[in-house]
Amino acid sequence: DAGVTQSPTHLIKTRGQHVTLRCSPISGHKSVSWYQQVLGQGPQFIFQYYEKEERGRGNFPDRFSARQFPNYSSELNVNALLLGDSALYLCASSLGTGMMGDTQYFGPGTRLTVL
């Protein structure tokens, strides 16, 4: 079975630009979460979506937004890019049962570099 897929793999942007990252969850999974991993740190939670509704949001500015589509895929958008947005962006999918033990499975990530 295919795992979580993300595109693109790498991306280089300049400050002030906008970027869209995409994620396709594991078949049968209805929940998608986004995390930002800055070099040398653990992933930080950005958003979680379930059935196209935002279920949670981390401590990120309004420049970050996301959405989930009817096929459960998701996009993460970042406006007005800053140098500090350079990071590995990870998408995770889960069944979305709402149970605390629901496991999140991660994709390979999108490496964003802002120059």
Partner 1 sequence: AQSVAQPEDQVNVAEGNPLTVKCTYSVSGNPYLFWYVQYPNRGLQFLLKYITGDNLVKGSYGFEAEFNKSQTSFHLKKPSALVSDSALYFCAVRDTDTGRRALTFGSGTRLQVQP
**Which residues contact partner 1 by CB under 8 A?**
4, 6, 31, 33, 35, 41-45, 48, 55-58, 90, 92, 94, 98, 100-109, 111
Residue 60 or 79 with smaller CB distance to partner 1: 60
Joined tokens for residue 70: 């009817």
Residue 51 or 102 with smaller CB distance to partner 1: 102
Q: Contact, 15 vs 115, CB < 8 A?
A: yes
Residue 15 or 40 with smaller CB distance to partner 1: 40
Least distance (Å) between residue 82 CB and partner 1: 22
Residue 44 or 79 with smaller CB distance to partner 1: 44
Least distance (Å) between residue 100 CB and partner 1: 5
Least distance (Å) between residue 63 CB and partner 1: 19
The residue among 54, 63, 19 whose CA lies nearest residue 33 is 54
Least distance (Å) between residue 89 CB and partner 1: 10
Is residue 88 packed enough to be buried (19+ CB in 10 Å), middle (13-18) or exposed (0-12)? middle
Report the C-alpha gap between 26 and 14 in whole angstroms.
32
The residue among 104, 109, 98, 85 whose CA lies nearest residue 23 is 109
